Amino acid sequence: MARYEADVVIIGGGITAAMVAQKLRELRPQASVIVVEAGKRLFDFENRFEYRQRNLDYGENHWPGDFISDQNARGIISRTQAVGGSALHWGGVCNRFSEEDTRLKSMYGLAVDWPIEWADLEKHYCEAERRLGVSGEPSPLKEDWRSEPYPMPAMTSTFNLKELKTWAEQSGIPFWTTPQAKNTVDGYGGRGKCRRCNTCEICPTGARYSPDWTFKQLLDLNRAGDGAATKFQLHDQTLIRRLVLDPSTPRIAAATGAREDGGDDNVEYRASTFVLASGYTWSPHLLLASANSRFPNGLANSSDHVGRYMTGHLAFQTTIDLNLKIYPGMNEQHSLISRQFFRCRPDQPYVRHDLRVWENAGGRAPSMRDRSGKLLLGDALIADWRTRLTRGTARVRGYFDVHPDKDSRLTLDPANKNRWGDPMPVVQHRTDAATQARTAATRQHFEQLFAQLAKANDGRMGNVSGLNYQDHPAGGCRMGTDPSTSVVDSHGRTHDHENLFVVGSPTMPTGGCTNGTLTFVALALRSAAQIAGF
């Protein structure tokens, strides 16, 4: 068995792991840190243009091999397991939550309050934006106050977005551009400026932040021999299967696992502090899989809350055919946002959501045949196509706030095991009774809102559809001040094991009503200071 020892072992190699490792190195430069990731590293930046092109041409995976075939869970929304995690594919959207998300119980009598003051979280949002490199346009709403400006100017609003903004604001709703972890300045974080490649899921220029950049920079610091040489290590293709308790205390003594190329239990890590940064699925999974005679329901689970309150948000969306001309493809992944509906007056029916608008090519595709069914060839096909290009299409979507039931769960599935015989997780989301009771009213709200937008420009609204899964999933190790109803404290320290932290998305009690990544990172950075001992 290979044995490693470090001051801090971080399990998981995604965006929160990268942020915690980076901050630990700054706060405790002499501390040794090992990041252990089950998937492989995909650091061949020089091949990204080729991967992008093969994805465009053939539909091939733009991150080849970014998964482990038998490390599979039912109910998850991403199979990515690689250094960088799901943030490899990330679109880079960096929306903040709002204060209401952290005070649901006290403001609305719903779900729970987070054990964090908004001003504290806001400070860490700023830090997250600096570290990720966010370009953004401040919200005009006073409730969306910021203590620091965005690190970079907002992404250029394309001709299309300007046209769409003019239309959308005729409805009386203010819109502005969505903040993103994409460089609008050359060289920020050692990365290039956005070149509108339209493939943010793999950014060939590096303008969109992905965690592999941070890990490479940490490894480069080792090589630079700056006094912290070899203090940071990245062990990829190493699956941690168990956390092992100290025999006489509730502290975690070791993490054991296996390398892709080795046999059972062939790696052991010992550390003063262990950090679970494996996301909403694999963090609670490891705690449950590490059950032993002293913690028969799983580690950190004396409250029976590990794997409960799995959360996220749902969405309604539509397309609107508009009386304006746009040119689909100018910068398809850039969008408009309104945060007007983040707030809901306590005396009104509860519905909170974001509202986004994108350019879209829906209904503008070339056709093999005209309306009568006649075959079209050559210039006749182009002429027919042009008849559909005098108007434009917008895609409109709102993520809305839903709250998890206690039985919204991640459990171990004895019928689905990996090569090591470990039961894999299954995630089954369930919203609480209050959320279910307002489902019809929420849908009606969106239908009226989309109709209001369409009406502003002689628009024709398409079908309104909802997501069939909860996006930006989180939870499973929720934070709280009461150890009987939560798994970790506000810094991610588990109530049961003083040297075990869970960071990022699993700690969230509720999933908010907008993209979650910036919040995952802000929470992880807040935890990092505690992990460092500050």
Partner 1 sequence: MRRRALLQSIAGAFVARPLVDLQAASQTPVAAPDLSAANVAALHAVAEVVLPASIGEPPRRDAVEKFVAWVRNYKAGADRGHGYGASTLSAPTGPSPALQYPAQFAALDAQASSQGAVSFAALALDQRRAVIETLLNTPQPVNRLPARPTGANLIADLMGFYFTGADAQNLAYNAEINRDSCRSLDGSDRAPAPLGGGRG
List interacting residues with partner 1 (CB under 8 A). Answer: 54, 56-67, 69, 72-80, 89, 155-159, 162, 184, 193-198, 204-205, 327-332, 365-369, 373, 375, 377-379, 381-382, 385-386, 389, 467, 469, 471
Element (H or E) spanning 16, and its range? helix 15-27
CA 171 to chain centre: 30
Minimum distance, C-beta of residue 385 to partner 1, in the bound complex (Å): 5
Q: How far is the CB of 209 from partner 1 (least distance, A)?
A: 17
The nearest distance, CB 241 to partner 1, in angstroms, is 21
Residue 524 φ then ψ, to 5°? -65, -40
**501, 533 Cβ separation under 8 angstroms:** no
The phi-psi region of residue 521 (left if phi > 0; otherwise alpha if psi is between -120 and 50; otherwise beta) is: alpha
Specify the residue, 60 or 117, whose C-beta has the smaller distance to partner 1: 60
Q: Which is nearer to partner 1, 161 or 488 (CB)?
A: 161
Residue 518 CA to residue 16 CA, distance in Å, equals: 10
User: Smallest distance, Å, CB 73 to partner 1?
Assistant: 6
Is residue 387 helix, strand or coil? coil
**Which residue lies nearer to partner 1 by CB, 71 or 273?**
71
Distance in Å, CB of 9 to partner 1, minimum: 28
We find the least distance from the C-beta atom of residue 415 to partner 1, in angstroms, to be 15
Q: Shortest Cβ distance from residue 292 to partner 1 (Å)?
A: 29
DSSP track, 419-450: TT-PEEEEEE--B-HHHHHTHHHHHHHHHHHH
Closer of 45 and 159 to partner 1 (Cβ): 159
Strand partners, 271: 6
- The minimum distance between CB 426 and partner 1, in angstroms, equals 9
Nearer to partner 1, 416 or 485 (CB): 416
355-360/392-401 β-pairing: antiparallel
- 194: three-class secondary structure by DSSP: coil
CB of 44 to partner 1, least distance (A): 15
- Quick one: 415 or 433, whose CB is closer to partner 1? 415
Closer by beta carbon to partner 1, 470 or else 510:
470
CA distance 122 to 125: 5
Let me know the angle formed at the C-alpha of 182 by 136 and 93, rounded to the nearest 5 degrees. 65
Check: CB of residue 342 under 8 Å from CB of residue 420.
no
DSSP 3-state of 40: strand
Q: Cα–Cα distance between 268 and 266 in angstroms, integer?
A: 7
Return the structure tokens found at 350.
Answer: 């509860």
Based on CB atoms, which residue is closest to partner 1, 46 or 379? 379
Q: Are 233 and 80 in contact (CB under 8 A)?
A: no
Question: What is the smallest separation between the CB atom of 313 and partner 1, expressed in angstroms?
Answer: 13
Residue 443 · residue 398 · CB < 8 Å = no
SS3 content of the chain, % helix, strand, coil (to 5): 30, 25, 50
Nearer to partner 1, 116 or 389 (CB): 389
Least spacing, CB of residue 64 vs partner 1, in Å = 5
Say how many C-beta atoms besides its own lie within 10 A of residue 257's C-beta. Answer: 23
C-beta closer to partner 1: residue 349 or 366 = 366
User: Alpha-carbon distance 75 to 352, whole Å?
Assistant: 25
How far apart, in whole angstroms, are the C-alpha atoms of residue 173 and residue 151? 27
CA distance 161 to 158: 5
Taking the complex as a whole, how short is the minimal distance between the CB of residue 85 and partner 1, in angstroms? Answer: 13
Closer to partner 1 by CB, 473 or 509: give it.
473
Among candidate residues 81, 68, 110, the one with its CA nearest the CA of residue 17: 81
**Closer CB to partner 1, residue 145 or residue 469?**
469
